Amino acid sequence: MRILFYQDPPSLESTMLTWTLGQELILRGHEVHFRKFIKDEVPTGYFDWVRVGSIDSPAGVKLAREIGAKVHVHLEGVGYWRIGVDSAREWGYKDELSEAEIEGWKSKYRDWMSAAYLADSCSVNGVDQTRVIQDVLFDGKKLPNCHQLSCGADARFALSIADTQKENYIVTVSRLEPNKKIMDIAKALALLKHRNLPLWLIVGYGTDQQTNDLRHFVEKNKIRTVISRGFGAYKWMAIKKATLMLNGWGGIQPSESLLCNTPVLSFNHPYMVEMYSDSIWWARDRDIESFAERLDKLLDMPEYALQEHVMAGKQQLLNGELYACTQEQLARNYTDIFDPKRF
């Protein structure tokens, strides 16, 4: 098949998820392009499928129809607080959105997500996201030929990294947005003042305000922390050498950690549990004391016990037993969805 990802090529400072997905599709024998073509640049009938997402979806659907290709729309998901499903404060934001702001976000999501109803197939990150998109944005109208597809971890890269000695630090890979719950992790660490805590390495970035707020908190509470913008191999090595990953509400990072033989502690937000089941360690959602208590126990747990758990979780991931998946598994899912025999 010839597949067009209707988007600009991913940048080196991005997660590179669509790029590695494209590479996995190429390894499966398909031809893959990344570009926002216009009609006159593509011969009719050249591409079999156009894969598109976000605000480019309507334009991607239009191009696909013009060049005689089938089209798949990936619905990355919605911020629940933005459309009035949950309180913004529950997600870590200081202020609630006004009714006008909520309606504005609903309108923005509908503008591009409606393209899924014109497509040949679509996908959504999770069952709960599917429900919210259908019920809240489109009055219960069922999404056509909809598949639940999670983001994938680059297992080929991770599994190529040689085993290395673990170092005495804990890692978090995440943006510093409030909904990622990084400040909640910091507050949990602050409850463990009686311990000699390992260094906390954060690989990610945030606004100046988010970064300064976090730095002020950890300095005040004497939590040794390094915040580093890191991409590619740097990120993978940071995960590989860590003794433990602390995760808030990040969907892909625990799968990366499992691939690197690094145990994970996360809040048990329903979306996270849906993805990882019992493959990682859990603290009660939004409960800082629960996170601190579980972390305290994990820091005292023998390394062999931590490794037994993470290796079992890694095997679940590689066997395809979790909703979270690798890029190789995700490419196989897309190949099945795009199979001409289905249409």
**Residue among 273, 338, 329 at smallest CA distance from 20:** 329
- Dihedral over alpha carbons 156, 158, 159, 165 (to 10 degrees): 170
What is the number of domains present in the chain? 2
314 shares a domain with 268: yes
Q: Which residues of the chain have pLDDT under 70?
A: 12-15
Per DSSP (E only), the strands in the chain are 2-5, 31-34, 49-53, 70-75, 121-124, 146-148, 152-153, 169-173, 199-203, 225-228, 244-247, 264-267, 281-283, 325-326
- Yes or no: say if 225 and 169 are a contact pair by the CB < 8 Å rule: no
- Yes or no: say if 106 and 98 are a contact pair by the CB < 8 Å rule: no
Whole-number Å distance between alpha carbons of 10 and 326: 18
125 shares a domain with 164: no
Question: What CATH number is associated with residue 159?
Answer: 3.40.50.2000
Whole-number Å distance between alpha carbons of 119 and 100: 30
Per DSSP, the three-state class of 63 is: helix
Model pLDDT, residue 296: 96
Whole-number Å distance between alpha carbons of 39 and 62: 9
Model pLDDT, residue 13: 65
**Residue among 265, 246, 263, 258 at smallest CA distance from 306:** 263
Whole-number Å distance between alpha carbons of 254 and 168: 19
Cross-strand pairs, 52:
73
145 shares a domain with 260: no
Whole-number Å distance between alpha carbons of 53 and 167: 39
112 shares a domain with 28: yes
162 shares a domain with 50: no
Q: In the structure encoding, which two tokens stand for residue 325, read together?
A: 């998946």
N-terminal to C-terminal alpha carbon distance within the chain: 14
169 shares a domain with 311: yes
Determine if residue 286 is left, alpha or beta; phi over 0 gives left, psi from -120 to 50 gives alpha, anything else beta.
left
- How long, in residues, is the chain? 343
167 shares a domain with 109: no
Backbone phi, psi, residue 51, to 5°: -110, 125
70 shares a domain with 126: yes
Q: Note down the domain range covering 309.
A: 155-323
Model pLDDT, residue 24: 96
- Yes or no: say if 249 and 181 are a contact pair by the CB < 8 Å rule: yes
The residue type of 164 is T
- Yes or no: say if 243 and 170 are a contact pair by the CB < 8 Å rule: yes
Pairing relationship of beta strands 152-153 and 325-326 according to DSSP bridges: parallel
Question: pLDDT tens digits for 189-202?
Answer: 999 988 899 999 99
75 shares a domain with 9: yes
Q: In the structure encoding, which two tokens stand for residue 290, read together?
A: 């629960």
284 shares a domain with 166: yes
- Kindly report the pTM of this predicted structure: 0.91
122 shares a domain with 229: no
110 shares a domain with 69: yes
